[in-house]
Structure formats: C-alpha cells, structure tokens
Structure 1
C-alpha cells in the first residue's frame, strides 16, 4: 500500500466517523430545560429517570442510609422546597443522608440527591446546607449527568471507527486523551452552571446565595488542615475530589455567578434553631457499626472486640478491612473478617488458604481467642514477599491478618509489632464498652470567656482537638466563639 493510498483511506475513514457522529448529534439533540437551547443528549427524560432509579439501588448496596428518620425528613423538606423553584419542578426529587464520614454530596440523573452526614457535620447554618443541596439540584435540572454520558458515547463511537477501521495503532489512545480533555473542561463548566442555578434556587427559596461561598471556604479549610497533618505525618496531602473541588481559591467566576442571583432576593431566612436541633447528636467520624479508633486501639461494640496497633502508626478503618501502616508506609498490617465455613483448626484454615508450607508456624492463644500464625510467601502491593499471616477464631468467624514490609529484609525489624497486634485481639471489657461508642456532635451556647483552647481541653478528641473544633464551627484557622453563638463540641 502506498503512503498516498494509506492517507486517502485514513481521511475517508475519519470523514465517515465524523459523519456518523454528526448524524447522532442531529438525532440526539434535545431542549435544555434550563437554557431552552439545543443540547446533545442520547436519552429521553424517562430513560434518565430509569438510570437514576437503577443506580440509586446499587448505591444503597455500598452506603448505609443514616438511621435518623427526623433528619432524613428535614433534608427531604429542604430539597423539596428548593426543587420546586427549579427549572424542572415537575420532577419528584428523592434525597438521602448517607451514613458515612466522607465529606461529600452528589446527585444522580432523574432527581436523586445525596448528602453525607460527614459534610453535614461541618455545615453551620440551614442556608449552607441548602447551598450544597441547591448545587446538586442544579446538576440534575441542567441534565449534566446525561449530557456528559452522551459526550462520552460520541467520543467512544468516533474512537472505535478511527481506531478499528483505519487500523492505526494509538488512535484510540489519542481520541481518549482528546475526549478526556473535553469532558474535564466540560466538567468545570458544569460546576459553574450548577453554582449559578443553585444560587438562583437558593435566593428564590429565601436563602442568601452567598452562603455557597462559605461552604467552599469550609471545604478549603479542610484541605489546608490536611496539608498540616500531611507535613506532620510525612505523607502527601490527600486530594479532595468532592463537591466544589474544581473551584480554585478566590474564584472570581464563582463569585460573579452567585452575586448575579441577588436579583431574585427575598427576605433571607436567618433562624437556624431547627438546623442546630437536627444536627445535635449527629455521629462524627466512624459509626458504632463500623467500629471506632481511639489512639492506637480499634473498638467494635457489635463484635465485642478490641485490637491494639503499634504506637504512632496510621490506622484506616475501611468498610471491609482495617489497615495500619508506619508513617513511611514501609510496613503494613491488614485485618479482615470473614465467616468460617468448615469445622477446622486455625492451622488447617491457613493451610487451606495458602496451599504451601507454613514457615515458623505456631499456635497462639490471645486473651480470649485461639489462633495460628506463620510466615508464607505471598503476592503483596510490594511484590512477592515473605508475609506474616495469622488466623484468629471468634465463634464462627475468623480474623485474617496479613502483615508485610516494603523491603523483604525488614520482616525481622517489624515482626515484633506484627505479633503484638495479632496477640492483642480480644473481647471488650465492661469498662471499655463506652470507648466503642461513636462520638457525636453536641450543640452548646458559647459563654463569655469560652475559647477553643478551653473547649479542646474538655474534648474527648485526642489529636488536634483545637483545630478540629474550629473546622467544625467554620472558624479555622484562628477564629473564636462569640458569646451567645451556637457552638459544636464533641462528646
């Protein structure tokens, strides 16, 4: 094949792809309910609603619904009030408060809106919470999820035609890069449009739209605090990817779109008495169902157990496992729980699991439970490594422990820590049951002389209590309570 022939065929193929894409665009245009202009979408409103309903059910298999019917009704009432002022007031919006400490809010197509108890803990007025909800309702009314999916589909169609029919190596990669760049930029515009719509809906519902800027300030303060923690712990700061994460500091475009909503100004609501009543008692951090961490110990009330980890190790309480690591992450302990399905000893369980010789194996007996531990060769995040493993039985369940080092030669260095954690697994003592209960928010009224230093000294928070209280009250990094002001403390 000559170079000229090849280039001619490639040109024709690309043209075919573009014509196919343009045909879909002509078929897939629909009127945007917000702007009244034509948008490129590949699904009807009924299909959009069906997608939201389907993924709502899937999402509830991952997240628990927060068990507080009064709070759920309160959020639903706010959503209903805001949504009836929106461009799609014919939709029935469904709201859910999710039982997770994650700081986030999001929406699914068709009118499904979610807010976590984690982000609610940091709100300090009904208007701030309404700002979060209004932003998510804006995504739904402008059909952002549908429009983004449609753009992804057309990118994929053109990619497959160019890459498949022309047989050009790397064509798919190039088109994906272009599509990703398009959608990421598109996402930024979506966020600003959701801000504009949220601000409009807030003003029409009786809330000051400038409260949205306060929410962004609260989330930026959390990023600032995490940078402080990261420096102390010798790690990289965690990137926040939740609501409002695309906004830079002092975002002038955001301020412009929010201030434009002042033309809808009504008598803005100032009374937050009901809001503070609703968040009084809100769970902060991990719930009892997930287990709680106090200093270097993990407590789980329902399972009735406690586990001690090495001092100064970082403990991550994940939905399906516990992870503990050194500051440098060169040693890691993972503990998970599963059902026992055979009548066997802990040693037999490990032999069934690994199908290899158990090196330096020995039976163990913690204060409460029988177990077995050994060294095996296993695939780990660090590669193939000698790994300390253990099985500790509790009734008809087994705690599986995997402990590994980044450098194969460091196992002896950390093995004492590994064995100490394994042998620490035991049942809760009566005096420890209260330690397994979740921490909650309590609303107090600030008195003359109250400072966050004083409040921190009375707090059960054991690390950076002063900074955490300021974050909870929207007064980070150096604000102080004003006498008579409602203040959140932790109990």
Structure 2
C-alpha cells in the first residue's frame, strides 16, 4: 500500500499531551491516538474492463490490503455524484497517462482523514475527507494522477520487493548469525533506506502527475494548489492538535517530502508546460459533485458537537464539564480543560463474570493509582459508582456506569492535589441514553455549497456553522483561502452544516 497523504487528523490536543508528560501513568491512561474504525462494508464497484497489469503475488497482497483499508477507513462511502465525477477524471487520466495501463477501480473511503492510496493492481482509494478539501476538478485530478503514477511506474511492486528483502536480511542476521541486536540494526537501517527510496518515488509521481493532468486537459497548476491546501489543513490541525510520540517517530521515517518542497517542484513542472490559466479547473462541476457529502466523524463511531458527545450505535450521550473541549477517537473520547490542568477520558469495558462495579473500580483500574472509598449512585436509571484516586502528580475521580453487559467509565484527572469532584459530578449527571428516534436522527455533518452575497466574509460564513469549533478557520481551510477579507459575491463556497 502506498499512502499519498499521510495526515490523519485524530492526534490528541497539545495541552493534553503536555499534561501527560510529567506522569507516565497518564500516557497509558489517556494518550491513544487512533483512526476511525467502522465495520459496515459495502460491495466494491469497478469501472469495467481489465484492471491495470498485476503480479500474482502482489495481487494476492492487494486483495488483503483492500480489505484492511476498508476496515481501517470506515468501509466504502456511497456518493453517486462524487463517484461519477471521480470516474470521469480517472477515465481521462487513463487515456493520457504514461506507461501501459488498463482500467482502474476507485473506492471512496468513509473516513474524515485526508488521504489517498494506490495498490499495485490498479485499485485507487480516496477518503471523503480528501474530497472535501479539493476545490476543483484539476485539484482532484492531481491526486488521482499521482496515485496512477505509482501504479504505472511500478512503485508499489518495487516497494513490496524492498520490504521483503529487508525482512529477509534482518532474519538471516538474527537467526544465522545468532545476533538479534545486529538484525534489529540492519532492519532499522533498511527502513531508513526505504524511506529515502520512497521519498524519491513520491517526487517522481508528482512530476508524472503534472504532465498527465495537462495531457488530460486539466490545469497543471492544480497539483500545487492542492498541495498548498494540504499544507494549510495540516497547519490548522497541528495548531489545535499535537502529535503523539508515535506520530513523531513516524515523521522521522516518513517517506513523504515536506509540502513546501513538493509545491515548489510541481509548480516548476507546471511552468515548463505553460503559463497559469491553461487547462480545465471547473470548480462548479467539482463543488456540485461534493455538495452533501458527509463531513467529520460518523455518529455510529461517536461524534463531538461542541461540548456534547453522542454515539448513535451505543445510543448514549454526555456533555463535557464547563471549560472543557472534547475530541472523539477510536473507542474513546478525550478532553482537556481550557487551562490545561485537567484531563478527561471516556470509554467502555466489559466486566468479568461475577465482577461487581465496586470490585472493578477498586481493582487497580489505573496502574499506580490508589483508590479510595466507593460511592454508589444512580445515573440515568443505571447503577453507577464513583471513587477517588491518587497518583504521584495527579488527583483522580473515577466513575463507572453499568448498562446491560457494558460498563461506561469516566476518568477525570487534575494536576496536584485538587479534587476534580465537581466537574466529574457534572459530566456523569449529563450522561443519558438516547431514544431510538434521537439515535436515528443523529447524522454526520455535511458539506454544503452556498453562494456568497455582497458583504459576505469568512466570519459571516462561519456564523452559518455554529456546531463547529474554530469555524472561521475551517471555512478558510476548506475553501483554500489565506485571509478573511471580503468574499467574491456570486461565487460558490463550501460550508459545513448539520
């Protein structure tokens, strides 16, 4: 699998990471950054004809990777209008592309992250998060052309062979030479070599894509515009969300060149073709295609609406304490107070047979935290318990609510000796079960295309997105705008609506 945009936006808030630094126990208790995982899979679709040239062993691996991608990225997302627009772009690119190719099969992944992939057998993938970031047909063509370039240039095959060779070398060193440490060092060195090799592949694919979108009749400058949009999106996410230690480790071995370097390279390539203004952009066609697609998290996985969290699959909801911001991650919700001195985690577990709530919270729920007396409560008609905990640098409130065979648990940590009882009481009192109509009514937010009127600004557009935090920044990022000055009357823009 070759990732094009490796920028998932589920990393944790910087303040929460800063909170965890002085206490190792919080790293385990709170800091797990994950991507969306939804099991609803839809049948694959093809554009017809033979797939691109394939290698048998690689094909088998690609089939496995296809299922892994569907599982990891929320299954297939159905949007007939977006799919039709993508198919049209792919068909034009297939005729214009360099190298021997067949037809391509494209899948939209039901994930808000911004990413695209290509498998060696010609399967192409784009997330709905990426679709929302593109602003015209030339930009989305640049993404697809880049992925097609990976296939026609045999990059995926080369990378798979290198990975197999790397694994074999490290295995021989560790087993034949009986030196596991040397084997690990060889493997680490091979990973660094792979990263440099793949980095060159990315630059090569960029250059091929610029030529191909131009031959297909699209604006070759679309590649630079989309990479610039990607840079703005990354900066926006990083300004509100930090990177985990694992993310930083992966950044060191990242196979992708920095965005400014790539923008400069593709812009230079476009200038060799012609001056700006050549080729099709057709913003209207693309915006019409993505009007109404889902934006952000799927309520079946749990979503944050301001301070409120709801999960339509579990049919539960709660509200964060005053001053807290929430973020949904896989299988959990995390939050941090405005001053950075308190942190919240919510998740669920299953009790062992015969285990009581009281025994559970007293059983060493968090390593290194001594719990106090257990208080029994009734929360939304369900049995619950709450207790205190004390760590080296943190004071805890722990609560568990039992609903059927599932136990929902809250962990609220405060720096120092301050007991976070009041915010914990507030959050568990807000916990409730959603009615069937409420759960059914929970829908993802959507991209909506609106026409600017005279006097409209980014601020007035943001006022139409009250459910979003940092709505004005979201508007600017989605529409590829750098400043919040007046908009062009009569021009169409993307907003996010319920």
Bucket of the pairwise TM-score, normalised by the shorter protein: 0.7 to 0.9
In 2, distance between residues paired with 1:440 and 1:485? 19
Query: Aligned pair in 2 of structure 1 residues 254, 87: CA closer, same or farther (>3 Å)?
Result: closer
Residue pair 2:306, 2:467 contacting (<8 A) in 1 also: no
Q: Could you say which residue in structure 2 is the equivalent of 1:198? A: 209
Structure 1 match to 2:427: 421
1:362 aligns with 2:375: yes
Secondary structure in 2 matching 1:60: helix
The answer to whether the Cα contact below 8 Å between 2:380 and 2:432 also exists between their aligned partners in 1 is yes
Q: CA deviation at 1:193?
A: 1.0
Residue correspondences, number: 438
Q: Which residues in structure 2 correspond to 1:449-460 (within 5 Å)? A: 449-460=455-466
- Structure 1 144/419 Cα, relative in aligned 2: closer, same or farther at 3 Å? farther
Tell me the residue number matched to 1:105: 116
Among 259, 262, 265, the residue aligned to 1:247: 259
Task: Check the 8 A contact 2:307/2:326 in 1, yes or no.
Answer: yes
Per the TM alignment, residue 311 of structure 1 is displaced from its structure 2 partner at its CA by 2.9
Distance 1:260 1:439, change over 3 A: same
Name the residue aligned to 2:198: 187
Native 8 Å contact 2:94 2:101 kept in 1:
no
Shift of 1:191: 0.6
Q: Residue 178 in 1 paired to residue 197 in 2?
A: no
2:97 corresponds to 1:86:
yes
The alpha-carbon deviation at position 415 of structure 1 amounts to 3.7
Match of 1:393 in 2: 402
Are 1:323 and 1:334, in contact at CA under 8 Å, matched by a contact in 2?
A: yes
Q: Residue 338 of structure 1 contacts residue 399 of structure 1 at CA under 8 Å; is this kept in 2?
A: yes
Tell me the distance in 1 between the aligned counterparts of 2:116 and 2:317. 32
Alignment of 1:436-451 (within 5 A): 436-451=442-457
Secondary structure of 1:364 counterpart: strand
**Structure 2 portions without partners, runs of 5+:** 1-52
SS in 2 for 1:276: helix
Change (3 A) 1:110 1:259: farther
Q: CA deviation at 1:307?
A: 0.7
Q: Please provide the CA RMSD for this pair.
A: 4.0
Larger CA deviation: 241-250 vs 188-197: 241-250
1:309-458, aligned counterparts within 5 Å? 309-326=320-337, 331-337=342-348, 346-347=357-358, 359-375=372-388, 388-394=397-403, 396-403=404-411, 405=413, 410=417, 412-428=418-434, 436-458=442-464
Gaps of 5+ in 1: 1-42
The one of the two structures with greater contact order (alpha-carbon pairs below 8 A, sep at least 6) is: 2
Q: 1:127 aligns with which of 115, 138, 142?
A: 138
How far has the Cα of 1:277 moved from its partner? 1.8
What is the rounded CA distance, in whole Å, between the counterparts of 1:89 and 1:250 in structure 2? 26
Aligned residues of 2:195 and 2:255 also touching (Cα < 8 A): no
**Distance (Å, rounded) in 2 between the aligned partners of 1:197 and 1:360:** 66
1:175 partner SS? helix
Three-state SS of the structure 1 residue aligned to 2:424 is helix
TM-score by length of 2: 0.75
C-alpha change, 1:447 and 1:114, in structure 2 (3 Å) is same
Encode CA deviations 1:348-395: one digit per residue, 9 max, x unaligned: 666799699974112211234332233579xxxx9999864433233x
